[in-house]
Structure 1
Amino acid sequence: MSNWEAVYEKWNTYENLDPSLKKQLGDMQEDETALEDAFYQELTFGTGGMRGVLGPGTNRMNIYTVRRAVNGLANHLLANRVNVRDRGVAVAYDCRYMSKEFAVETAKVLGSYGIRAHVFKSLRPTPLLSFTVRHLGAAAGVMITASHNPPEYNGFKVYNEDGGQITPQEADEIIEAIRRTEDELTVPYLEVDKLEEDELVNWIGEEVDHAYLDRLKQVSKLEDDEQERKKEMGIVFTPLHGTAHDLVLEGLGQLNFTNVDVVKEQAVPDPEFSTVKSPNPEEHQAFTLAMEQGKEKQAAILLGTDPDADRLGVAVKNEAGEYEVLTGNQLGSLLLDYILTHTDEHVLKTARMVKTVVTTELGRSIADSYGAKTIDTLTGFKYIGEKIHQFDSSGETFIFGFEESYGYLISSFARDKDAVQAAVMACEMAYYWDKQGKTLLDALDVIYEKHGYYLEGMSSLTLKGKEGSEMIASIMESVRTKPFKEIGGFAVQQTEDYLAGERTIAGDGGQEPITLPRENMLKFILDEEAWVCLRPSGTEPKIKYYYGVCGSSKEDSRRKMETIKQALDEAVNQMMHK
């Protein structure tokens, strides 16, 4: 009997196995491939938590894998934090299948250790969970979400006492504590009535929402009298069946945006995300209904948030009268420019803009022009949150953080990307430009004229299951063993291997260290301000490759990017079929 078969047998013969999981196991009995994939490994707890397909098995999201993770988290907190039982852990959840159940399971396991759980009575956005940890002074936070993954997924995301995603070091410590949990089926827990009797659960209502909204209003760059003025600019908003509905509408209401329409079909939380192929504002199809409604209402701006409301997409009308979805890099650059334009020059002396290494270099150029410093991090907002924490004691001022995948943070009262903050600020920014007779696309052209025509793209390959994971590893190893010398006719000037922590300069330039944490990622700096980066996703069964260029015109940039994209597609395809 193989290892996975032994684990399957343990689950299959466990008398107290959850009935629904027991039935699913029975349905899978004749499908050995499905059983192996469900049991061949333990669901990976990565640098922020774990995410996976719902179902029975150690490699699936279910009450037992959640209990195991919480058991490790509880032990980690008790060993490494002070007053954990009194401070407790904040817990929130989104609209997905089993989200509330997993939140309650989290409280039940924490309660068995005497740790109080602050659990929201109903679904809430991820950024509100980040804020709640800080607002309540909790020892940690847990968000049950799989962000914009397909409906069959859910996840368990951990936040530290600062309200940021856990750092790699914290993740390693929690992973080690999880590994010491011998049997996921027998993790101790208390029932809900016992939690309530012993005051080990605090059910949170709207009081934290109000505190968040108070801070949100302070983010505005408008003068007080301008905030109070009624604004009739047309806005259409879709929460894509997720959690952002109430806070975005209330945030816009605080600034007196009175002409806001919600896409009704997508306003109600729905774990199937039934009106879209993917509940991801990065995917343009997610805006289909918003665009139809926008045309009816003559809206100036369309907003779309993902299910847990940490990502925002924006669309505005182009010269042809059609709505055009801004890329994450474009919206981030616009927000950065607007914020810096309205920042006091004394603040600019210590101002820090933080972006990831695969985010547009246009951000650096904008920050430079205002005298603000740019700091690069690895991919993932947890690294941006970590930098903000360092600023708390360094005297530096966080001014803005963003990543190309539609994640933005304006004010650090939350420590993760925040689509609610970004949605309200995007509308304020559109209102500012509208008063000058310009759309956000016009404003973007102004930025391009000043800084250069930066353009970026990202391609990805989804490779599921055990074989897919092996193929992704093989592609990365192939590129690492034999690095590109040129890509699409653009010579490689520097090769950055973030796993080795080394930067290799072409020719006789030698090597120098990369002062960032190790990660399985390769970046190639090319001629003419172009670059390419390959990176396996940490949350999905994908390998992603990013590319960026800067041309003399929009047409020049598009041509350069298409050349690089085609060369990368061909190279990866050859590696897959060699």
Structure 2
Amino acid sequence: MHIEQNILDKVNEWLTPTFDSQTQEEIKEMITTSPKNLEESFFKNLEFGTGGMRGVMGVGTNRINKYTLGKNTQGLSNYMIKSFSGEQLKVAIAYDCRHNSNTLAKVVADVFSANGIHVYLFSDMRPTPELSFALKYLNCHAGIVLTASHNPPEYNGYKVYWQDGGQLVPPQDGEIIEVIEGLNYSEIKFEANENLIEYIDVAVDEAFAKSTIENASFNTPLAAKENLKIVYTSLHGTSIKAIPGVLAKAGYTDVNIVAEQEVPNGDFPTVKSPNPEEPEALSMAIALSDKIGGDIVIGTDPDSDRLGVAVRDTDGKMVLLNGNQTMVIMTAFLLEQWKRAGKLDGKQFIGSTIVSTPMMLELASGYNVECKVGLTGFKWIAKFIKDFPELKFIGGGEESFGYMVGDAVRDKDAVAACLLVCEIAAQAKAAGSTLYKELLNLYVDFGFYKEHLISLTKKGISGMQEINQMMIDLRENPMIEINGQRVVCIEDYENSTSRNMFTEEIESISIPKSNVLIYYLEDGSKICARPSGTEPKIKFYFSVNTPLDAVEKAKEVEKQLDEKIKNIIAEMQLS
């Protein structure tokens, strides 16, 4: 097959003595046996996306390996040395259960230390939110987590956090990327200064647990906690290092762990995908819950920043809540707790994203607080906390099963969210209600909002081209009517414009640029198209809503909303 010259130039660079013999041998093997794989490994450089950098592990510029991560770390080191001139620089590093995460974390630690930067390296795998906490707790300048979240086993990744405990945002991200891209691989300092590498574990664990319990506990009686039957699965991930201990310290005694998924394992052998967004991922936990009569099922992804929740519906059947539903339940509970405590004075806010449920705006209005809406990714919610110090952050989340309670951790945090959702469930059960009934009551108060996500996987060069073309078509040939409803407005975040489809009036959008399109229909429905920033996917988000007069009508109304979503998907030819 023909390979472009620019790709061959990269390949030849990786065959020089700058790269170790094993790397060179693997490349030579690909040249003779798998030129297509060679092309995929070198056709571009791995890029920072919504949640940092993720990719398949292997050799090449488009793969996760010691050289691509080493180059990132060298660039970050150079940037920090320039930005914090004269300071004793400190970084914290954590990693998850994935293959090579521990060895890649040590490579990253080596490069930092070789540049004179003090490294706090966790001695074993830890949840991602603990890294965000540790960074602030240890007064570090930056932090790194080696993780690919819920991606398949062949993936790994590299997430960068800044002084505030949040992930990189503008302008630092662009400035750091520019430094990285200006480096040659020969400039990476791999020779560690072991005196600058300090291993951390129990002391930080205890501080993290204490902080979590303080932030996510709300005066739930001990008897109510003991009466809640919890089924929990770590899906072979890192949350096993934190969640059981936090729940026990908080007073929850009836926690039933799915034994088959308890041991961390980067192959994730019992699931097709270790993603709590996928109903199949929690099937073993739900089966255990049905066996023992559980009240609530909780599962977390490999690095423990997302959680899936299943609860019993009005018929007693376990149903998986989506990320929008758990976000709404937790936010409404927090707002009510703040209100009862007399702490709402107009100087608070909740956070959400442009692809999440509009119901968050209704909640904010109902409690007279502001809802700040940003791009996908918790780094934007963390940026709101940093940019508006005069406002107190209550909580917030996004549709992709992530939530953040307060500002002790500046990223989505399944550890705190797990405790919070147990608090809500325990209090509801003690009051003769359920988590599901509490959700239905919210729909009566604020409107029944129903969301749905379609995620289309398009791998490789051809897949990237196909995704690009889909976005071009949606922009250049916009739909005028969908499911009998006129399109009233199209927001294009790449061009920072909001276009009124009736008057053709165009207004500017102040949110940072991103490759996202949102269609708004005249009945209040919302359709969003967004290529993933971390996976070879394009995602379509659907939100529909209608009033709900009474809880008893919930099933009937939900069927109507499901049918509306089904019709929209069919008309857009996405089914």
Superposed pair shares fold, TM > 0.5: yes
Letter in 2 for 1:214: K
The offset of 1:361, in angstroms, is: 1.4
Q: How far apart in 2 are the matches of 1:214 and 1:512?
A: 47
Q: How far apart in 2 are the matches of 1:486 and 1:230?
A: 50
1:355 matched to which residue of 2? 352
Q: How far apart in 2 are the matches of 1:251 and 1:523?
A: 39
| 2:338 matches 1:335 | no
Following TM superposition, the consecutive aligned residue runs of length 4 or more in structure 1 with deviations greater than 6 angstroms are none
1:402 matched to which residue of 2? 397
2:538 matched to which residue of 1? 543
| 2:64 matches 1:69 | no
Letter in 1 for 2:189: P
Letter in 1 for 2:270: T
Alignment counterpart, residue 123 of structure 1, candidates 122, 125, 137: 125
1:441 matched to which residue of 2? 436
Q: 1:228 to 1:431 in 2, by over 3 A?
A: closer
1:306 matched to which residue of 2? 301
Q: 1:424 to 1:560 in 2, by over 3 A?
A: closer
Does the CA contact (< 8 Å) of 2:361 and 2:371 recur in 1? yes
Q: How far apart in 1 are the matches of 2:50 and 2:225?
A: 44
| 2:215 matches 1:213 | no
1:26 matched to which residue of 2? 29
Does the CA contact (< 8 Å) of 1:550 and 1:557 recur in 2? no
Listed as ranges, the matches of 1:370-385 within 5 Å are 370-385=367-382
2:175 matched to which residue of 1? 173
Q: How far apart in 1 are the matches of 2:559 and 2:62?
A: 42
**TM-score scaled by length of structure 2:** 0.94
Alignment counterpart, residue 2 of structure 1, candidates 2, 5, 10: 5
| 2:108 matches 1:106 | yes
1:511 matched to which residue of 2? 506
Q: How far apart in 2 are the matches of 1:327 and 1:511?
A: 34
Q: 1:537 to 1:220 in 2, by over 3 A?
A: closer
Letter in 2 for 1:508: T
Letter in 2 for 1:89: V
Q: 1:348 to 1:290 in 2, by over 3 A?
A: farther
When structure 1 is superposed on structure 2, of 345-354 and 32-41 the one drifting more is 345-354
Cα displacement string for residues 226-251 of structure 1 (whole angstroms, at most 9, x for unaligned residues): 35976131101101111111311121
Partner SS state of residue 523, structure 2? helix
2:54 matched to which residue of 1? 51
When structure 1 is superposed on structure 2, of 40-49 and 94-103 the one drifting more is 40-49
Cα displacement string for residues 156-181 of structure 1 (whole angstroms, at most 9, x for unaligned residues): 11001110010032111111011111
The offset of 1:21, in angstroms, is: 7.0
- How large is the Cα RMSD of the aligned pairs? 2.0
The offset of 1:488, in angstroms, is: 1.7
Does the CA contact (< 8 Å) of 2:452 and 2:565 recur in 1? no
Q: How far apart in 2 are the matches of 1:260 and 1:544?
A: 35
The offset of 1:573, in angstroms, is: 5.5
The offset of 1:290, in angstroms, is: 0.5
Q: How far apart in 1 are the matches of 2:326 and 2:561?
A: 22
Partner SS state of residue 90, structure 1? strand
1:37 matched to which residue of 2? 40
Partner SS state of residue 215, structure 2? coil
Q: 1:428 to 1:82 in 2, by over 3 A?
A: farther
Letter in 1 for 2:201: G
Cα displacement string for residues 319-353 of structure 1 (whole angstroms, at most 9, x for unaligned residues): 33321011111111111111111113343421201
1:462 matched to which residue of 2? 457
Letter in 1 for 2:191: L
Q: 1:78 to 1:437 in 2, by over 3 A?
A: same
Does the CA contact (< 8 Å) of 1:502 and 1:513 recur in 2? yes
The offset of 1:116, in angstroms, is: 1.4
Partner SS state of residue 430, structure 1? helix
Q: How far apart in 2 are the matches of 1:438 and 1:230?
A: 15
2:560 matched to which residue of 1? 559
2:551 matched to which residue of 1? none
When structure 1 is superposed on structure 2, of 155-164 and 209-218 the one drifting more is 209-218
Percent identity among equivalent residues?
37
| 2:365 matches 1:364 | no
Cα displacement string for residues 454-506 of structure 1 (whole angstroms, at most 9, x for unaligned residues): 10111111001111111111111111112221222221111111111111112
Q: How far apart in 1 are the matches of 2:96 and 2:13?
A: 31
Q: How far apart in 2 are the matches of 1:444 and 1:430?
A: 11
Listed as ranges, the matches of 1:54-203 within 5 Å are 54-83=57-86, 86-182=88-184, 184=185, 187-191=188-192, 195-196=193-194, 199-203=195-199
Listed as ranges, the matches of 1:412-431 within 5 Å are 412-431=407-426
Q: Which runs of 5+ in 1 are unaligned?
A: none
1:256 matched to which residue of 2? 251
Letter in 2 for 1:34: N
Letter in 2 for 1:486: E
Q: 1:31 to 1:188 in 2, by over 3 A?
A: same
Q: 1:206 to 1:82 in 2, by over 3 A?
A: farther
The offset of 1:572, in angstroms, is: 5.5
Listed as ranges, the matches of 1:242-281 within 5 Å are 242-281=237-276
Does the CA contact (< 8 Å) of 1:239 and 1:305 recur in 2? yes
Does the CA contact (< 8 Å) of 1:351 and 1:398 recur in 2? yes
The offset of 1:438, in angstroms, is: 1.3
The offset of 1:83, in angstroms, is: 5.0
Larger relative contact order, structure 1 or 2 (CA cutoff 8 Å, min sep 6): 2
Q: How far apart in 2 are the matches of 1:207 and 1:22?
A: 43
Does the CA contact (< 8 Å) of 1:487 and 1:564 recur in 2? no
Does the CA contact (< 8 Å) of 1:47 and 1:166 recur in 2? no
The offset of 1:26, in angstroms, is: 1.7
When structure 1 is superposed on structure 2, of 564-573 and 305-314 the one drifting more is 564-573
Q: 1:185 to 1:31 in 2, by over 3 A?
A: farther
Q: How far apart in 1 are the matches of 2:165 and 2:234?
A: 23
The offset of 1:508, in angstroms, is: 1.8
Cα displacement string for residues 177-196 of structure 1 (whole angstroms, at most 9, x for unaligned residues): 111112x26622214xxx22
Q: How far apart in 2 are the matches of 1:108 and 1:46?
A: 25
Letter in 1 for 2:572: A
Does the CA contact (< 8 Å) of 1:91 and 1:129 recur in 2? yes
Q: How far apart in 2 are the matches of 1:484 and 1:556?
A: 27
Q: How far apart in 1 are the matches of 2:559 and 2:177?
A: 44
Q: 1:350 to 1:269 in 2, by over 3 A?
A: same
Count of aligned residue pairs for this structure pair:
564
Cα displacement string for residues 49-108 of structure 1 (whole angstroms, at most 9, x for unaligned residues): 311001111111111111011111111111223555x23111000000111111111111
Does the CA contact (< 8 Å) of 2:95 and 2:147 recur in 1? yes
| 2:20 matches 1:17 | yes
2:218 matched to which residue of 1? 222
Does the CA contact (< 8 Å) of 2:30 and 2:37 recur in 1? no
Partner SS state of residue 251, structure 2? coil
Q: How far apart in 2 are the matches of 1:221 and 1:477?
A: 47
